[in-house]
Amino acid sequence: MSAELEQKLDGLTQEDYARGLAVFRHHLKGAEASFLNACVRCGLCADSCHYHRAEPTLENVPARKLDQISAVFKAHFTTMGRVAPGLVGARRWDRGMVRAWVDAAFGRCSLCGRCSINCTIGIPMPTLFRAARRALGSMGLVPADLQASVENSLAHGNNMAIEREEWVETVEWMEEELQAETGDPEARIPLDKQGARCLFTVNPREAKFFPLSLQASAKVFWAAGESWTMASDGGWDLTNYALFTCEDDHAAAIVQNLADAMTRLGCEVLVIGECGHGYQSARWMGPEWLKQAFPFPVVSILELMDQYLDEGRIQVDPTKNPLPVTLHDPCNLVRHGGISEPQRRVLRKAVANLVEMAPNGIENYCCGGGGGQLAMSRYRNRRLKAGSVKAQQIQATGAKVVAAPCHNCIDQLGELNKEYQLKVQIKTVAELVAAALVTPLPAEVQP
C-alpha cells in the first residue's frame, strides 16, 4: 500500500467513516442488497479474473473481493451479521476494512464484469465494487491521479485539460492531412456545423497522442459522404472517468456536455468514437446519471462503419491490410455495451486475415487497463502483471496487428507490447478501415 493511502487512512475521522457507510447504504438498492446476500463462496469465479490468472492468490479471487464488501454489509445491515458475526463473516466498518476495500475495489478490479458471467449465482459484481468505490470516494480515498482526470473534465470539458485553441488547431491540422491524403480539397473535419446529422466525439488522447486515429475516422466519414461534425468546445470528449470514481453527480455533469452539444448543434445522432468506457458512459449510464432518456440515439462508430459497409456507402479492399489481425474486445464496449458483432463484420471485410483470440466476445479477458487502472499509477505493476493474460492471448494468435476499438485499451496494450515483447502494431478499427478504403473520387463524395 502506498504512503499516500496510509496517510489518508490516518486522517480519517469518525464522521468520515459514518459518511462512507451512509453513502454505501444510499447507493444500494434491492438488487444490490440481494447480491450481497447471494454469494455462496464456491470460488469458481477465481480464474475468470485476469488478476487471479496472473497471480493466483486469495486476495485476487472475485468472491474474496466481494466478501470484503459483503462483510461490512452484513455487520451493519443484517440481523445475522449483528448477532453472529463470526459465523457469517461480518466485519465492522473500520480502518482495516476501509483499507481492504481500497485494495479490492481500486487495486484489484478493473470492473470488467468477467466474473459476473462466470459466477455460479450470477452476481453482477462490478455493481457492488462501484458502490464500494463510491463510498470510498465520499471519504476522499479515490486515488489522486484518477480523481484528477475527473476534475479536468469538470473544469475544462475534457479529461486532459486541452484548451479550445489547441483542440481546434489539432483538428485543422488533421483536416489538412485528410485533404492531402484524399486529394480532395473539400474534405473536411467540420467543427460546430449546425444541423449535421452526426455529432462525433473522441477520446482526448486522440487529440494529444493519436491524431492519426482521428484522421482515420474522418476519412471514413468523408468516404461515406456522412453529414457530421465535432464540437469545438464542451462536448467533443467522450470520456467520463467518473464512471470509475463512481461519483454520479460528477458523471452526470460530464455526460451533460455531450447532451448540451447535441442540442446546441442540432444533431440527430450522437456517435461515440472507439472507446469502451466512453460508450458505456454515454449509451448506458448517461441516461441513468441524468435520470432521463436522451432524445437522440447514441451509437458507436463501429456500428456506423458496419452500416456503411452493409449499405455500400464505403468499399474496402482487404488486401490493403495483408498482415494477420486479431481483435481485442474492450469490456465496456462488448461485455457491458453489447457491441460485439459490428466490429467483427467490419474487420472480416477490411482485413485479409482476422484471427480471433480464445476466448473472445463477451468471454474475452480484460487487457488490464479498464476500470480506471491506467489512471492509477499506484497499481501500475499489478496492472501490467494482470495484463499478462491478454499478452498471452495475443501471442497465441500469431497476429501482427491488434485491432483495439478503445483508446484506454490501446494505451494498456501499448505498454503490454513493450513489457512482453509482443512486437505487434496496435490500431483502431477505423484505422484499418481507412487503410483499406477504396477511395471514391471526390465528386462521388456527397456530404
Partner 1 sequence: MVNHLSLGVLAAAGWAAGGLILLRTEVNAFGARTIHAPAAGDPAAGVRYAFTKAMSPGAKESVREHLPSYVAGMFYHAGIFTALCLLVAVLCGFTLPGPVHLLSRSLLALGAMGGLSLLLKRVFTKELRGLSHPDDFLANFLTTIFVALALAGPGTPWLLSAILLLLYVPLGKIRHCLFFFVARRHLGVFFGRRGVFPPGSHHVR
Q: Residue numbers of the site for partner 1 (CB under 8 A)?
A: 28-35, 37-48, 56, 58, 61, 63-64, 67, 78, 80, 84, 86-89, 116-124, 283-288, 290-293, 297, 299, 303, 334-341, 359, 361-363
Closer residue to partner 1, CB minimum distance, 31 or 323 = 31
Sequence-separated contacts (24+) of 88-94 with Cβ below 8 Å? 93/17, 93/20, 93/21, 94/17
Closer residue to partner 1, CB minimum distance, 52 or 193 = 52
Backbone angles phi, psi at 124, to 5 degrees: -75, 85
To the nearest whole angstrom, how small is the minimum distance from the Cβ of residue 41 to partner 1? Answer: 5
To the nearest whole angstrom, how small is the minimum distance from the Cβ of residue 68 to partner 1? Answer: 11
Helical axes 125-138 vs 62-77, angle rounded to 10°: 60
Contact predicate 355/398, CB 8 Å: yes
Amino acid at 40: V
Contact predicate 236/224, CB 8 Å: no
Closer residue to partner 1, CB minimum distance, 177 or 226 = 226
To the nearest whole angstrom, how small is the minimum distance from the Cβ of residue 281 to partner 1? Answer: 11
Closer residue to partner 1, CB minimum distance, 186 or 310 = 310
To the nearest whole angstrom, how small is the minimum distance from the Cβ of residue 29 to partner 1? Answer: 5
β-strand pairing of 269-272 with 198-201: parallel
Buried b (16+ CB within 10 A) or exposed e, 188-224: bbbbbbeebebbbbbbbbbbeebbbbbbbbbbbbbbb
Bridge partners (DSSP) of residue 403 are 327, 427
Using alpha carbons only, what angle is made at residue 262 by residues 258 and 265, rounded to the nearest 5 degrees?
130
**Which residues contact residue 133 at a Cβ distance below 8 angstroms, ignoring those fewer than 6 apart?**
105, 106, 142, 244, 245, 246
Closer residue to partner 1, CB minimum distance, 147 or 281 = 281
Closer residue to partner 1, CB minimum distance, 118 or 425 = 118
Using alpha carbons only, what angle is made at residue 59 by residues 56 and 65, rounded to the nearest 5 degrees?
125
To the nearest whole angstrom, how small is the minimum distance from the Cβ of residue 144 to partner 1? Answer: 30
To the nearest whole angstrom, how small is the minimum distance from the Cβ of residue 282 to partner 1? Answer: 10
Q: d(Cα 337, Cα 281) in Å, to the nearest integer?
A: 9
Q: d(Cα 401, Cα 430) in Å, to the nearest integer?
A: 13
Closer residue to partner 1, CB minimum distance, 12 or 121 = 121
Q: d(Cα 390, Cα 191) in Å, to the nearest integer?
A: 37
**Which residues contact residue 66 at a Cβ distance below 8 angstroms, ignoring those fewer than 6 apart?**
39, 123, 125, 128, 129
To the nearest whole angstrom, how small is the minimum distance from the Cβ of residue 162 to partner 1? Answer: 28
Closer residue to partner 1, CB minimum distance, 119 or 139 = 119
To the nearest whole angstrom, how small is the minimum distance from the Cβ of residue 358 to partner 1? Answer: 11
Closer residue to partner 1, CB minimum distance, 39 or 199 = 39
User: What is the maximum alpha-carbon separation in the chain?
Assistant: 78
To the nearest whole angstrom, how small is the minimum distance from the Cβ of residue 443 to partner 1? Answer: 31
Contact predicate 302/429, CB 8 Å: yes
Q: Three-state SS string across 168-224, please?
A: HHHHHHHHHHHHHHHCCCCCCCCECCCCCCEEEEECHHHHHCCHHHHHHHHHHHHHH
Bridge partners (DSSP) of residue 229 are 199
Closer residue to partner 1, CB minimum distance, 120 or 179 = 120
To the nearest whole angstrom, how small is the minimum distance from the Cβ of residue 6 to partner 1? Answer: 25
To the nearest whole angstrom, how small is the minimum distance from the Cβ of residue 97 to partner 1? Answer: 15
**Which residues contact residue 361 at a Cβ distance below 8 angstroms, ignoring those fewer than 6 apart?**
329, 334, 340
Closer residue to partner 1, CB minimum distance, 88 or 212 = 88
Contact predicate 266/229, CB 8 Å: no
> What SS3 class is residue 235?
coil
Closer residue to partner 1, CB minimum distance, 291 or 418 = 291
To the nearest whole angstrom, how small is the minimum distance from the Cβ of residue 336 to partner 1? Answer: 7
